[in-house]
Chain A
Amino acid sequence: MRVSAEAGAAAAAAPFIHLEGVSKTYGRGASAHLAISNATFDVMPGELACLVGPSGCGKSTLLKILAGLHKQDAGTVAIGSTANPFNPARDIGMVFQQPLLLKWRSVLDNVLLPAEILGLPMKQSRERGRDLLALVGLAGAEGKRPYELSGGMQQRAAIARALVHDPRLVLMDEPFGALDALTREKMNLELLRIWKQSGKTILFVTHGISEAVFLGTRVVVFTAGPARMADNLEIELPHPRTLDIKTHEAFGAYTRHIYRLLGME
């Protein structure tokens, strides 16, 4: 079923991310806390994979492992292929629940932060930063300070920042969790557009079940206590997705299935 990248299988069928039996425990002895156990799934290049589950189910831990910030205790994490190796410094963009823009910098300078840290040529990066701000719908806001933007707009800038160094993988940890419901719906549509236009592989962590089904080409379901991966669903809903899809019968079937997995039905 799964084609291992190391085996040199046909490039088109090779997964971009391959996780097998990934586990992580925090703490030791009696206070040990199992953050994630036996996560096994593949993500193909260009997918928008959603990780869904309640708080404490280890989905954020998994993102940190993929970002190279934490090391798993057991299991394999493979990103990229031997033909096109993954550079962990350059190929990861991150978006968090809070926009975390630096308030002393202009919006454009905030977007350029990863380029500065990586030492990329600034002139091209500046141009790219402007293009990305246009892509996320912030054309004209380059010189503004973060506090002049609304929460949704700050998060758009944070997405542009995650793309500025042209990473192959974008990790999003509940990026719209702090936004009001309407802005969140709007940002979901925006994210789908940005994803299509940028062609990036995106891992999107959320605890919104219908958000996950609406956005994802794949939804990986985690449960908490004990932390466990419950399912890995390919979402076969048509693209481009519009809000109409939420009334689709299959959409309801997927969400009901996930609710059941999470013990809510």
Chain B
Amino acid sequence: MGPEPRPEPPMSTLEDPRTRTAMAVASHLALLLVWYLFVKFGHVPKYVMPSPVDTAQTLFAGNYHWWDNVLVTATEIYGGYLVALVVGVLLALAFTWSKPLEALMMPLLVSLNMIPKVALGPLIIVWFKYGVVPNMLIAFSICVFPILLTTVRGLREVEPDLLDLVRSLRGSRWQTFTKIQLPGALPYIFSGMKVAAILAVAGAVVGEFLGSDKGLGYLMLQVQVTLDTAAMFMAVLLITLTGMLLYGAVIAMERLIVVPDARVG
């Protein structure tokens, strides 16, 4: 006797991936069009709101050094994010291995999580001067918590009977971690990673606002003085794209690693 196949629900047009892609593209283009028409026919001064065309033109002006600034901001975001990922997962692992450590540290970390990390920015700059590394630190401090907390939860979520099964076979802690806990926690880790990807961008940019001499956030402050709103728009766009690249990479990795049935929204 073979297993019964699951019946496939009938697919509506909206579930067709091509239709959905087309609709997503359409809404983005529509926003651009509304923006363009609003500026063109609303007689909005350029320093209040530049048109999409004005914004795009700033890309070709050499004086903004877009590429260099993107690299700086991307280094801060991705660097802080990667460190947060490694530290968050390892700390969570340490907590599942040592109950006293978890009892001691988890409440403290939950309290620390309540500190608005952005408010730490001025302090971090006092301690570490300004530059790429302090901004990375701000990005790190803001995105380590969601990763840590979701990983702890994911590692805890394991069925006790499953742990008993491994223990009855005298399996090692490491085997429990690699074969049961980590794969089981991956959906949770990824949901934390998605939240953290968005926060990391905010952390790095706030750091640049507070004190820095390069990066897209720094550039925004520079051009703000001259009411170069088009360049500010472009900076926001590039910051967004840098964040989207990270978010997209996380989603792609999740699709690759986590089986569909196990995903957490």
A binds B: yes
- Residues of chain A having any CB pair with chain B under 8 Å: 64, 67-69, 88-90, 92, 94, 96-98, 100, 102-104, 113-114, 116-118, 137-141, 144-145, 147-150, 153, 165
- CB of B169 within 8 A of CB of A89, answer yes
Please, which residues of chain A bring their CB within 8 A of the CB of B186? 104
- CB of A144 within 8 A of CB of B3, answer yes
Cα–Cα, bound, A117→B163 (Å): 12
Q: Which of B5, B166, B171, B175 contacts A148 (CB 8 A)?
A: B5
Cα–Cα, bound, A246→B259 (Å): 44
- Residues of chain B having any CB pair with chain A under 8 Å: 1-6, 159, 161-162, 164-171, 175, 179-180, 183-184, 186, 258-259, 261-262
Please, which residues of chain A bring their CB within 8 A of the CB of B261? 103, 145, 147
Cα–Cα, bound, A64→B161 (Å): 10
- Least CB distance from A166 to B in Å reads 13
Cα–Cα, bound, A221→B134 (Å): 68
- CB of B3 within 8 A of CB of A153, answer yes
Please, which residues of chain B bring their CB within 8 A of the CB of A88? 170
Q: Which of A97, A113, A140 contacts B179 (CB 8 A)?
A: A113
- CB of A145 within 8 A of CB of B259, answer yes
- CB of B161 within 8 A of CB of A96, answer yes
- Least CB distance from A135 to B in Å reads 13
Please, which residues of chain A bring their CB within 8 A of the CB of B165? 94, 96, 100, 113-114
Please, which residues of chain B bring their CB within 8 A of the CB of A113? 165, 179
Please, which residues of chain A bring their CB within 8 A of the CB of B180? 102
A117-B175, A148-B5 are contacts. A69–B259 as well, Cβ < 8 Å? no
- CB of A150 within 8 A of CB of B4, answer yes
A67-B168, A89-B170, A104-B183 are contacts. A98–B161 as well, Cβ < 8 Å? yes
Q: Which of A114, A116, A149, A165 contacts B3 (CB 8 A)?
A: A149
Q: List 26 A-B contacts (CB under 8 A).
A: A67-B164, A68-B168, A69-B168, A88-B170, A92-B169, A94-B168, A96-B161, A96-B164, A100-B159, A100-B165, A102-B184, A103-B261, A104-B184, A116-B175, A117-B166, A117-B179, A118-B169, A138-B3, A141-B2, A141-B3, A145-B261, A147-B261, A148-B3, A149-B3, A150-B3, A150-B4
- CB of B168 within 8 A of CB of A92, answer yes
Please, which residues of chain A bring their CB within 8 A of the CB of B168? 67-69, 92, 94
Cα–Cα, bound, A100→B163 (Å): 10
CB-based nearest B residue for A114 = B169
- CB of A104 within 8 A of CB of B167, answer no
- Least CB distance from B176 to A in Å reads 9
- CB of A64 within 8 A of CB of B164, answer yes
- CB of A100 within 8 A of CB of B262, answer no
- CB of B164 within 8 A of CB of A94, answer yes
Cα–Cα, bound, A144→B4 (Å): 11
- CB of B259 within 8 A of CB of A103, answer yes
Please, which residues of chain B bring their CB within 8 A of the CB of A140? 2-3
Known: A89-B169, A113-B179. 19 other contacts (CB 8 A): A67-B168, A69-B164, A69-B167, A69-B168, A92-B168, A92-B169, A94-B165, A100-B161, A100-B165, A102-B179, A104-B183, A113-B165, A116-B175, A139-B2, A141-B2, A141-B3, A145-B259, A148-B3, A165-B169
